[in-house]
């Protein structure tokens, strides 16, 4: 093996090592959130195991937060639009780049899909922040703790889950999209 290949192999090994460390960190955070949600769901009188199932946990969290599932449906639709928009744009870019310039216009045609996906992602992030805020509020947390729940979700959920003072008090003045206002 020549020195150029050895350097490339070493660089690739470092990239995989860093990627592996990042994935372990992400996995650890996911496990912490699942444990915290499990305990919080049980405090709300819901089955804790629902914290393990990826999309169902969103529905469960929204139900605990608002007493209904409507916002969860909107949240999932926004995530689907984001996924479709960015995937479709990526596919069009790949086709445009591999067509020797003959289909270059496809990249331009795909821009609205990318824009719609970005707007949906931003709307989903705002809705997610609102749900995290109201989730903490439904456990009687202060406004400061609710704001912290938006930005430091795993830490706040752990504090709420293992605090003996935290009790589920139910939906607290959330925005209703359907039905009567609180």
Please report the DSSP string for 1-53 in residue order: --HHHHHHHHHHHHHHHHHHHHHHHHHHHHHHHHHHHHHHHHHTTS-GGGGTS
Residue 26 and residue 147 in contact, taking contact as beta carbons nearer than 8 Å: no
Residue 138, H or E segment:
none
The Cα 28–Cα 35 span in angstroms is 11
Q: Which two tokens stand for residue 175?
A: 């925005």
Q: What is the mean pLDDT of residues 9-16?
A: 90
Residue 141, H or E segment:
none
Q: pLDDT tens digit string along 131-181?
A: 999 999 999 999 999 999 999 999 999 999 999 999 999 887 666 555 555
Phi, psi of 79 (to 5 degrees): -65, -40
The Cα 126–Cα 27 span in angstroms is 24
* Whether pLDDT at 1 is above 60: no
Q: pLDDT tens digit string along 90-138?
A: 888 788 777 776 777 777 777 888 888 889 999 999 999 999 999 999 9
- Sign of the torsion formed by the C-alpha atoms of 146, 148, 153 and 156: negative
Residue 85 and residue 113 in contact, taking contact as beta carbons nearer than 8 Å: yes
pLDDT of 97: 78
Q: Which of 60, 15, 35, 46 is nearest to 168 (CA)?
A: 46
Confidence (pTM) = 0.80
């Amino acid at each position: 093996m020549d020195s150029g290949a050895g350097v490339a192999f070493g660089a690739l090994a470092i990239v995989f090592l860093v990627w592996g460390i990042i994935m372990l960190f992400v996995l650890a955070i996911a496990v912490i959130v699942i444990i915290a949600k499990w305990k919080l769901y049980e405090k709300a009188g819901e089955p804790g195991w629902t914290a393990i199932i990826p999309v169902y946990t969103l529905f469960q969290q929204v139900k605990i937060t608002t007493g209904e599932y409507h916002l969860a449906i909107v949240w999932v639709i926004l995530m689907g639009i984001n996924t479709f928009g960015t995937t479709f744009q990526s596919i069009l870019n790949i086709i445009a780049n591999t067509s020797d310039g003959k289909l270059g216009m496809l990249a331009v045609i795909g821009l609205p899909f990318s824009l719609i996906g970005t707007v949906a992602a931003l709307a989903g992030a705002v809705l997610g922040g609102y749900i995290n805020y109201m989730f903490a509020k439904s456990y009687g947390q202060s406004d400061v703790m609710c704001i912290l729940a938006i930005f430091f979700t795993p830490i706040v959920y752990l504090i709420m889950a293992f605090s003996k003072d935290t009790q589920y008090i139910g939906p607290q003045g959330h925005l209703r999209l359907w039905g009567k206002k609180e």
